[in-house]
């Protein structure tokens, strides 16, 4: 059974090139290990309409949605408000988060600090036994911070919630150019609609020049596709299969 995900990266700093996005690579790799198929990554600005539209669209299209960025105390931290607007609900101050901030900041818990206690009405707040800040979940949208270290720490604590059946993957290394095997590959792809194929040219490698990937949730489908492809390839170009 395929479990799908969508990822929304929120922040003007990513689109302007002021900061390099690390979160999409981390989450894509983690979700693949968990057996979740990441279907789309969207990078959008700190804009209420953009956030609300994308959150609503992704929530309806994918089983899991992850957002990163825009969850702090400053003027451009509007992810919570954008998600609330997208679903026509109010922002409310969550008592658990409010208590956390009052404990942490004491008399310095001003309005800017308490802004971070506001969540879309109906959100689940997942508390950790560690010192990590709670995770806010609205419907199927998991709202993560944008700072890579914080995101990675928090995701590690909840990653098993997302686990699905794994992918089976085979890699075929070839000493050839893509043009040499394109017709054969296209034919095998057409016969194996339940399998995902990839073809990746490799530069400056004396051993092989292409890596083909063949993957599916069903092991037998992968094995069948590999056998068909190997039977069609010209002699002398196969380096190895892993």
Of 139, 162, 185, the last residue of a domain is: 162
pLDDT tens-digit series, residues 71-114: 988 888 999 999 999 999 999 999 999 988 888 888 888 888 88
Distance CA 169, CA 164 (A): 15
Segment 6-33 shows an average pLDDT of: 97
Burial of 27 (C-beta count, 10 Å sphere; 0-12/13-18/19+): buried
pTM of the model: 0.91
Nearest C-alpha neighbor of 77 from the set 99, 53, 47: 47
Here the CATH number for the domain that contains residue 27 is: 3.40.980.10
Q: What is the pLDDT of residues 135-156, one digit of tens each?
A: 999 999 999 999 999 999 999 9
- List the CATH number of the domain containing 213: 3.30.70.2860
The domain boundary, picked from 119, 143, 162, lies at 162
As a whole number, mean pLDDT of residues 121-148 equals 93
**Mean per-residue pLDDT, 119-134:** 90
Residue 186: what pLDDT? 97
Q: Are residues 129 and 12 in the same domain?
A: yes
Looking at 162, 178, 196, the residue that finishes a domain is 162
When divided into structural domains, the chain yields a total of 2
Q: What is the pLDDT of residues 178-213, one digit of tens each?
A: 999 999 999 999 999 999 999 999 999 999 999 999
Q: What is the pLDDT of residue 226?
A: 98
Query: Do residue 89 and residue 184 come from a single domain?
Result: no
Give the range of the structural domain holding residue 217, as residue numbers without chain letter: 168-241
Distance, in Å, from the CA atom of 6 to the CA atom of 67, rounded to the nearest integer, reads: 9
Shared domain for 177 and 135, answered yes or no, is no
My answer on whether 115 and 23 are in the same domain is yes
Q: What is the pLDDT of residues 74-85, one digit of tens each?
A: 888 999 999 999
């Amino acid at each position: 059974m395929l479990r799908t995900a969508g990822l929304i990266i929120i922040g003007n700093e990513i689109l302007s090139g002021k900061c390099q996005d690390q979160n999409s690579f981390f989450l894509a790799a983690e979700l693949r290990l968990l057996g979740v198929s990441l279907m789309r990554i969207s990078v959008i600005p700190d804009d209420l309409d953009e956030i609300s539209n994308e959150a609503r669209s992704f929530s309806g299209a994918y089983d899991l949605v992850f957002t990163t960025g825009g969850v702090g105390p400053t003027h451009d931290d509007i992810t919570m408000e954008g998600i609330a607007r997208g679903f026509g609900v109010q922002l409310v101050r969550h008592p658990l988060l409010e208590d956390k901030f009052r404990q942490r900041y004491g008399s310095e818990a001003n309005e800017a600090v308490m802004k971070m206690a506001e969540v879309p009405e109906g959100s689940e707040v997942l508390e950790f036994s560690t010192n990590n800040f709670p995770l806010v979940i609205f419907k199927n949208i998991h709202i993560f911070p944008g700072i890579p270290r914080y995101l990675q720490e928090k995701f590690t604590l909840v990653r098993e919630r997302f686990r699905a059946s794994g992918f089976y993957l085979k890699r075929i290394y070839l000493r050839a150019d893509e043009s040499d095997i394109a017709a054969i590959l296209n034919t095998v792809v057409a016969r194996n609609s339940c399998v995902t194929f990839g073809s990746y040219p490799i530069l400056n490698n004396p051993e092989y020049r292409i890596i083909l990937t063949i993957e599916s949730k069903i092991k037998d489908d992968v094995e069948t596709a590999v056998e068909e492809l190997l039977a069609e390839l010209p002699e002398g170009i196969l380096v190895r299969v892993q």
